[in-house]
Chain A
Amino acid sequence: MANKPKIKELLDESSCAHNQTRKVACNAPTPGATTGGCAFEGAQISLFPYADAAHLVHGPMTCLGSSWETRATGTSFAGRDLTQMGFTTDININDVVFSGEEKVAASIDYIMAHYAPEAIFVYATCVTAMIGDDLDLLCNQAAERHGVPMVPVHAPGFVGSKNLGSRLGGEAALAHLIGTKEPETTTAFDINLIGEYNVTGDMWQYTPLLEELGIRVLATLSGDGRVAQIRTAHRARLNVLVCAKSLVSLTRKLEERYGIPSIALSFYGKRDTSKGLLAIAEALGDAGLIERTRALITREEAKLSEKLKPYQAFFKSKKAVLNTGGNKTWSIAAALQDLGIEVVGTAVKKATEDDRAKARETLGDKGVLMMNPGVEQAKIIDETGADLLLAGGRSLYTAIKKGIAFADVNQEKKKSYGGYAGLLNLAEDLKNALQNPVFKNVARRAPWEK
């Protein structure tokens, strides 16, 4: 039990802005009025991209059956990509009554015999946490048996939200992996990327630039990650927290334990990418590096503007309304502005205070921050003559009724919008949306409705 992270502590993260003003984090979901994933999903998201590790879910079928192979987290791992595989004990009623511990041990042995991963993450779920299967003990025993790390992940769904689960995933890596191995060499410019999962290859949009600058990604949590790397993460000079507030506890603890400072940034859109690269160089504190970074930014921005020119001509005087949540409320807005699209409104209903402030800063005084987007977005489209609505699928009909283009921001992305190059992907997709006559055509009245 000693290994289990204290949930109360994680919810009371001192690095979170809101916890400085308000002591109790509001975290209890409302029955019958709750959306969003559970802690197990969050933990899975934060750890799953380790392609050379197996992820064994100890629970009934819903947990893994509906969730494996759902995230396009690319890997450069040359071996069998275990991130796109699912392993579960699929417990039955016998296991519930008599414990599923034997099954866990046998499953671990099976996985080691057939796939020989560098580590196995073993996830508790609601039912197996409740019946008290002792994953800590099972993992200790299995680690001894097989000589590779076995990481118990204590993030059963019922302890809280996806965000909390990501923190718990980070805790598991901290307790069982980070600091268990020394890197072969170190450099003055070793960094960790924390909270970057490389969905659709987002990370690969900027890691070649880091490499060119001589910045080495020592470890990631967990995009394109390897177990051996995260075990050496304690030797990095800097932790870079990418777009994910949930892992702020981990970076704080890494600072306390190993003295690694951290910065938080995003690689979404031109301005953020440039700011992010420079922030890394500045945090590493080398004058030559900073200079090289400035030069690289100038070069990359020039290259990008050249490629964006035809798009910018197309997007000129186009207006968009954005209805999403979290950091997307401002990060997508900023990317749209980079393309030359005016963002006339963004929904901030599902955003933190911090995100709202950033949204205001991004949109300026004229932009509308929508607290009730379901009602407001149609009105804003009318008032501003917006050309494009970026929202979740449920808002599609609003766009059709208004006869304007629609882009689904929640749709599973197939290509990356990150970094400089990703902006071109976004530009292409939005151009296609704006040129597509379908939104007007589909609204045609049937002959018998005229």
Chain B
Amino acid sequence: MGKVMHKRSKPLQVNPFKLSQPMGATLAFLGVDGCMPLMHGGQGCTSFTKVFFTRHFCEPIAIQTSAVTDAIAVLDGGDYSIVESVKNITKKVAPSLIGLHTTGLPETKGDDVRGVAAQIEYPLVYVNTPDYEGGFESGWALTCTALIEQLTEPAESIDDNKLVLLPHVSLTPIEVEKIKEFIEGFGFNVLALPDLSTSLDGHLGEKQAALSSGGITVEEIRTFADAGLVISVGDSMQSCATALQKKNPEMRHQHFSHLQGLEATDALAELLLTETGFSGPPLTVARWRQRLQDAMLDSHFSLGQSRFLVAAEPDQLAGLCQALYDAGGKVTVAISTVDSPQLEKIKADQVLVGDLEDAEQLADNYDVIVSNCHCEALAHRLHKGLVLRGFPNWEQVGNPLKNDLLYEGGAYFLFESANAATVMRDAGRGTRTPENHCF
């Protein structure tokens, strides 16, 4: 739509909001029930990752490290540190699966992770996720693909009621749950890979964080291949769907770039109606569609006079921009962490791969920021409105319950954005005057 810049233009990142590939892999493994993510690298990668997610989700995070040291790095090809890690982990807990993912260190020295994994008797899935390649989305997607390729058993027949959902990395636990419910409303049995909706949200119990709890079970992944339909959400998840279809060529695949806004949700509803032959959706779905229409009208006045900066992972970026655009929000700047096929489709005047220094330099172009908590200082200093979305958000509680998706979440998102814009404008004027015209 607007101008698209696929590469960053400077030698470094200043105030980066890009996140690394191994971190995406960790999060994906946390969506598998009873899993122990094992990050192969120096102990710091794991420690940073654990603290990062603990603060974001306000939930204990299970993860272990192979704790590669400088001496080990020289002498070992992973045989020692990985085998030893598995031994030490299983001494204390009995994970259903060990989720082995690499970092830059072992990839640089060329550890043969696949070869080591083959020697290990314990249930284990490995994935190569150096942090000098890709990003948060690709780490998550590569892990999902690895889970499918290494666990799912091929099948020939299909169960038309069974549906596999492949959500992208930025979808919150509640968003995954809402998609599942939406589809279940049409009579499907839905399995999500990974499933953060049951694992990183609402936990209270003893022995917390010894292992991931909740999430999709290993057994469910093994028997995925008889699902009649696979739905991928987010362009980063396309290749996972392809991997799954290889397990059973009978399986059909439908892809959604995102599920935000009226049009995308309509497309999903239409697909489900076609699949089931139903004449209409469940009553609540129809009701929420009306509410979203109403929300679009109620919020259009504020949104229509607001210019937005949206900075996020590409799949989330596409959805957020579309939702704002549909109700008249002017997305003047969209910044992505990494390159993606999404960028060409994004509804914004200017789309670039960049960092938050870029956001700062373009500050004259927008009034409201939709991004993570690293933008808080920026918003404060430059008097911008702020809607916190994406990773990390250490400033607010309740991140697992933020829902922007489908008809329902879409309505809430528009209200929140419109209100943030109004508050910002009022603060600028020093008065509070009603400016929302309700229809």
Contact = CB atoms under 8 A, between A and B. Distances in A.
Partners in one complex: yes
Interface of A: 28-41, 56, 59-70, 84-93, 95-96, 102-103, 106-107, 110-111, 114, 126-127, 129-131, 156-161, 393-394, 396-398, 400-401, 412, 442
A129 B68 CA distance: 14
A19 to B, nearest CB: 20
Contacts of B278: none
Given A62-B23, A65-B18, A158-B70, A96 B52 contact: no
3 nearest A-B residue pairs (beta carbon): A38-B44, A32-B85, A32-B88
B181 to A, nearest CB: 21
Contact of A92 (B43, B48, B132): B132
Nearest to B46: A34
A32 B55 contact: no
B410 interface: no
A36 B72 CA distance: 18
A157 B45 contact: yes
Interface string B208-228: 110000000000000000000
B69 interface: yes
A37 B47 contact: yes
B128 interface: no
Given A34-B43, A60-B130, A90-B13, A397 B85 contact: no
Contact of B44 (A28, A37, A89, A397): A37
B54 A89 contact: no
A226 B55 CA distance: 30
29 contacts: A30-B84, A32-B66, A32-B67, A37-B43, A37-B48, A60-B103, A61-B16, A61-B132, A62-B104, A62-B131, A65-B17, A66-B20, A66-B52, A70-B394, A87-B13, A90-B18, A96-B132, A110-B10, A111-B12, A114-B14, A131-B108, A157-B43, A160-B69, A161-B43, A393-B58, A394-B208, A397-B205, A412-B55, A412-B394
B102 to A, nearest CB: 11
Interface string B128-152: 0011110100000000000000000
Interface in B58-99: 58, 60, 64-70, 72-73, 80-82, 84-89, 91-92
B11 interface: yes
A88 B43 contact: no
Interface of B: 10-23, 38, 41-52, 54-55, 58, 60, 64-70, 72-73, 80-82, 84-89, 91-92, 103-105, 108-109, 130-133, 135, 204-206, 208-209, 374, 377, 394
Given A38-B47, A130-B73, A397-B204, A31 B10 contact: no
B132 A130 contact: no
Interface centre among B81, B84, B86, B131 (most CB of A within 10 A): B131
Contact of A34 (B21, B49, B67, B108): B67
A130 to B, nearest CB: 5
Contacts of A110: 10-12
A397 B206 contact: yes
B261 to A, nearest CB: 29
A64 B73 CA distance: 21
A106 B11 contact: yes
A114 B14 CA distance: 11
Contacts of B209: 394
B128 to A, nearest CB: 12
A64 B18 CA distance: 10
Given A88-B12, A130-B108, 17 more contacts: A32-B87, A38-B47, A62-B23, A66-B48, A86-B16, A91-B132, A92-B133, A111-B12, A130-B73, A130-B105, A158-B42, A158-B69, A158-B72, A159-B70, A393-B58, A397-B206, A400-B204
B41 A31 contact: no
Contact of B89 (A32, A393, A394): A32
A8 B382 CA distance: 48
B50 to A, nearest CB: 8
A42 B12 CA distance: 23
B42 A38 contact: yes
Contacts of B70: 129, 156, 158-159
Contacts of B44: 37-41, 63, 157
Contact of B16 (A37, A68, A111, A126): A68
A166 to B, nearest CB: 13
Nearest to A27: B69
Contacts of A158: 42, 68-70, 72-73, 105
Given A37-B48, A63-B44, A393 B60 contact: yes
Given A87-B12, A93-B133, A110-B10, A65 B20 contact: yes
A62 B208 contact: no
Nearest to B12: A107
A64 B16 contact: yes
